[in-house]
Structure 1
Amino acid sequence: MRQAVRRNWRAVLLGGVALAAACALLPDAAAASRRQGAWPPPPPSTPLGHDTHELHFGTTRLLLSYAARDFTLAHAEIVDWVLRSARATATFFGRFPVSEVRITLHATNGGRGVMEGLAWTTPGARIRLVIGRETSARVLRSDSTLVHEMTHLGFPDLDDTHLWLHEGIATYVESIASAQANEITPVQLWRHFVEEMPQGLPEKGDNGLDDTPSEDRRYWGGAMFCLVADVEIRRRTGNRRGLKDALRAILDAGGTLATMWEVERALGVGDAAVGVPVLQELYAGWKDRSVAPDLDALWAQLGVDTAGERIRLLDTAPLAAIRRAITEPPQRPLLLVGPRLIHDATQPQ
């Protein structure tokens, strides 16, 4: 496993014996999160000592597997987090990306929150997470890694040259979806983007995003591409369409992680859905050339005031309406609890 020295929104990646022991259970993949078919065969569907709980979110079946003795978290706290993550993902896509997914949790000593996440589709949609054994319910609820991995399920697999696009979409969507589902506030989201997005800017000697060896550019350069695309789509369409509409169209065309697409096909489907060729135009400019957007100017246009110690959102800015539309919840929010819409099939009703 790689070692990272930064804390980011979705995970802390730590080296050392403690995590290595837990990650030995995970498929070995440099391109962790979305490759299909390139790993050794996965371990049994239900590891020894794990119990499987059948959850339902609307028509989606979520098979949650973990060993209760390995966590201080209560079962209800884990289920609540899984369902909230599913709701956030479905809020963005308009539905959950797949009809069934198996989610396996492994505990590790040291650290709190989700330490690593993987998503793949052989066989079937699967997500595996490594979580700190002493993680509290408060820390878990604020962690959006599961939304990130669920987002991977809703976009077609691509050649590794374009890994940045897969990771960038998941990095961008996990935060946007959390805001749309009211799991975080717009101020929290834009503060996060202001703090983290500069990691995606190219450094001296960097080329385009295709085949980038930089971890930061893979995640945050890809997320920056998504933000610029979202703003430009909304600007050209009078704020009637956004990146959300492009990604929903790709999913509706059968573009899930279980399918392998050419990047041009995915971007073309997305552009056709929004009626403007923003994705293809941006990709042509960013794929093999170093592009460094002026983030400070973008924040100012969107009305994200970074002048003081606290982020302020200004509705008088030129693109303030676009900023609000990006995080706007749906008119009919999806319910987390309701008349048997969502339940744990393994628990008494």
Structure 2
Amino acid sequence: MTNIAKLRTGEAVFSALYETAVGIDVHEKKPVACYQSSLFGDGELKTEHRDFGTTQQQLEELTAWCKGLNPDIILFESTGVYWVSLYEKLEQSGLAPDKVAVLNGRDVKAVRGRKTDWADAKRLTEIGRYGAFKASFIPSKPIRDLRFMFRALSALKKEKQRVVNILHKLFTCSGLRASQVFSDIRGKAATVLMNAMIAAAIEEAKFSDILQQMDIVAGPQEALVPKNIAIMMFSENPAKFFPYTQVDIVIYPKGKLQDPSNFIEVPSIKGPIDSMINQVMAYLRTNIIKERVIKPGNQPESIRFFNYPYQALEEAVVNSLYHRSYQSREPIEITIEPDCIRIINYGGPDHSLTSSPD
């Protein structure tokens, strides 16, 4: 018997259905688990919290922790698809299906008040001990795999039809009424014929004509030279032609003004423009952009936001690389401080300005 609330008129007492339970608050990066034990007739409640990761090894550690405690019931919500790998690990460990319950978030709405991952894990554990839950139906592994493959096949068929529709529209816009000749424009005969037509068109076009149409070369036909944009986009080492074509990232853990001597230099990022953009964004996404989750008390869904919006940072990085003077021998500098990110590029002179006093 467990005393959970005292009222003015007396004492409300509820019987727990299970002596032990584990509740797991599932997340993309950090599942939080709570274990509670209260033997019938004892009255003493023992609680333990643990944080885990989401790699295969860390999920195996979570599974081993659960098996070592041997609770009567294990509960977690069906959050997105994050619960699937955890459920399969528990299933593979040999736990009986009736000892693992996956709950719909709508059925276990949190009460009002301050919400944390630990509090949610504890709430799931209490729901499990009192048996106040309705477990979702989870089919066996073969059925789940079959459902996954069927849904994937259905999605691929829809994607194929979407691409065919786009292809048909492109042909029609270019004056090719392929649908009037072929019943299926992606059939064998249509594919062979159109591939041959495209290959013939490419062979007829000169490579120099293609470069000129792309506007990445200049000069007379017999002495074409690449434009700067061609070197920046297609050369493996643009710094050979434009020194210091690179991005330098410097981190000031305590701030540049507060402690300028304390900084961390990231190895310079070099290469074609598109490669530098991808490398910079990969570094920022992995090391700088952090996700925060807030769980409002009046709704089951969590609110997720980031310290820096990825799209805004990407736009700033792209602009800094495209809109700069490559005649200036200065790298693009990205300084990262606790409260801000500064991106500095050295642009060329404003051509609208003249030396005339007017």
TM-score, length basis structure 1 = 0.22
User: Which structure ranks higher in relative contact order (CA pairs < 8 Å, sequence separation ≥ 6)?
Assistant: 1
